[in-house]
Amino acid sequence: MNPTVGRFLQYLRNERNLSWRTVDLYRRDLEQWEAFMAVGGHDADLASVTAGDIRSWLIERSAHGDVPGTLRHKVQAIRALYRYLLRRGEVSTNPAAAVELAKLPKPLPKFVRESTVDTVLDAEIDENDAVQVRDRLIVMLFYETGIRLSELIGLQDAAVDTAKGELRVRGKRDKDRIIPFGTELGTAIDHYRSLRPSLSPLCGNLLVTPRGKPLYPSLVYHVVHDSMAQAGASGKLSPHVLRHTFASVMLNNGAELNSVKELLGHESLAATQVYTHVTLRELQHNYELAHPRALKKGG
């Protein structure tokens, strides 16, 4: 190993206080890079390395099967090394700064099928049990309004008007928005309110614990996860997945993209457009299931 690289790794451990595991990741990337550079005669002269040299190495690593996330980390390791050398005055430029980081694929949002949520909402519960009624209402609110976990937890009782079919939530950056809802959800809210006095609500929130305190994230997560799992769903089953499901259902049923953006409280349309890919994937799946010639091969 180049002595300069060795000093850099010691700097990461002793002065930056990075973990041994993190430093070892840097070490492996830089040793691999040094081995590649040695073939070109650069092993003893870090100042002569160019952005083209680094790109050539990345092309080789990609050919060996390194994924974009791995390639990004390799570039970041070299950038960090050269930032260290620049501060010490050992080089005049950082060749890795001109190398574009590999783009990571953006996973599509996860969602559950409408039939699964219907199973949860249509399941038999004790309609006189305030906690059971509350838990079903939690699922309904996520699925029928698309609100965030933090918004549901902070939803004030006074901000929910079942006569108008509207609720007001405070979203990111303290921005309020009005979300309409249907008769079924309004009826469920009124029913929960009729039972809630037995829970002694003390905080002004719509949804409370049996002691009248605000809900907390892990409780809501377990309510959603357990409800979905009992209905036969698998994979990631979180409040955010129900928010994704709301958006997908809205678009699948003809809602305009801008309307869904406003309902979700997104700052930009780009954040909402990802759901169009989910919608197209679902449409393709339904087409392949339904059309008699969809899976036929040939012309």
Reported as type and span, the H/E element at residue 59 is helix 51-63
- Could you report the per-residue pLDDT of 82-125, keeping only the tens digit for each? 999 999 889 888 998 888 887 766 665 567 777 788 888 888 89
Domain boundaries, the chain: 3-98, 114-290
* Percent of the chain surpassing pLDDT 70: 85
Q: How far apart are CA 260 and CA 176, in angstroms?
A: 16
pTM of the model: 0.59
**What is 3-98's CATH number?**
1.10.150.130
More confident residue, 4 or 216: 216
- Could you report the per-residue pLDDT of 257-292, keeping only the tens digit for each? 888 888 888 887 777 776 665 555 554 554 455 545
114-290 to CATH, choices 3.30.70.260, 1.10.443.10, 2.40.160.20, 3.30.200.20:
1.10.443.10
User: Which are the catalytic amino acids?
Assistant: 148, 172, 240, 243, 266, 275
More confident residue, 33 or 171: 33
Q: How far apart are CA 135 and CA 243, in angstroms?
A: 16
Give 60's contacts (C-beta < 8 A, 6+ positions apart): 36
Q: Give the tokens for residue 146.
A: 């698309």
With b meaning 16 or more CB within 10 Å and e meaning fewer, what string describes 13-29? Answer: beeeebeeeebeebbeb
pLDDT of residue 287: 44
More confident residue, 194 or 250: 194
What 3-state class would DSSP assign to 168?
strand
Q: How far apart are CA 264 and CA 145, in angstroms?
A: 8
Q: Give the tokens for residue 13.
A: 């451990």
